[in-house]
Amino acid sequence: MDLQHLDPRQCDERLAGLDFSKDLFHLALGLAAEDVRGCTDMDAPSMRGTTFWSRTNRYLAEQLTPLGWEYTTRDSILRTIHPDRTHVVTAISAAGGVGDLDAKVRSKNPKGPKMARVVENNGQFVLMTRDEVRWGRELDEMPTWCLLYKRDDNGISAELSLPVKMNGAYVDEWIERIPLDLPDLADPGVDVALLDDPGDGDSPQVMVEYLGS
């Protein structure tokens, strides 16, 4: 199966195999957008972006934890962990052709060494022991899927993708990308802050170069 060009039915089946659904992501992104609409110009300039990132991860966790998933904010990476410890999901903002498998996509904001370790471990799947008491295996060794979202004047586009490499400070190489057709998701505000999902605490604040779709 060509994982890079799945038809809609195959996308749904692939998501189901990971215990995800388009409805899950539509709900999380939609609720986050509603929360951002409560921000005003009296809030901090980054409030809309940070709220959208945080609340998307929160709503993913709120839907999944009743099903046995667990949630952690360790290393400032908001992750929800599958009950079988087979994989993890985190939502981050992206730049480029989000949802367009013929276009390049990368994390919108620079990431630090903690995220780099998570990303590059995705291709290894090696069992470790550091987190065995709590998680049953090393947290950073669990394959980490990224719910990539992009907010612009056209609305909100998204895809679920499995990163494998960072070049410089950006996550930009992927083992697999699953486009998500999520209609009726309007952007909650065109004044999108630059750093809408923070780094992992180890990287300097860097001006982001715009990457067009």
202 occurs within a structural domain = no
206 lies in some domain:
no
User: Which residue, 82, 73, 67, is CA-closest to 137?
Assistant: 82
Could you read off the pLDDT of 153-201 as tens digits, one per residue? 778 999 999 999 898 889 999 999 999 988 778 765 544 444 567 666 5
Which residues span the domain enclosing 67? 8-180
Nearest by Cα to 89 from 80, 98, 100: 80
Q: Is residue 66 part of a domain?
A: yes
The pTM of this model reads 0.82
Burial label, 85 (beta-carbon count in 10 A; 0-12, 13-18, 19+): middle
Whether residue 19 is contained in a domain is answered as yes
Residue 45 lies in a domain: yes
pLDDT on residue 199: 62
**150 occurs within a structural domain:** yes
Query: How many domains is the chain built from?
Result: 1
Half-sphere exposure of 123 (CA within 13 A, CB side): 11
- What's residue 126's pLDDT? 47
Question: How far apart are the C-alpha atoms of 105 and 153, rounded to whole Å?
Answer: 18
Q: Does residue 209 fall inside a structural domain?
A: no
Q: Is residue 188 part of a domain?
A: no
Under a CB-based contact definition with an 8 Å cutoff, are residues 168 and 131 in contact?
no
* Helix, strand or coil, per DSSP, at residue 186: coil
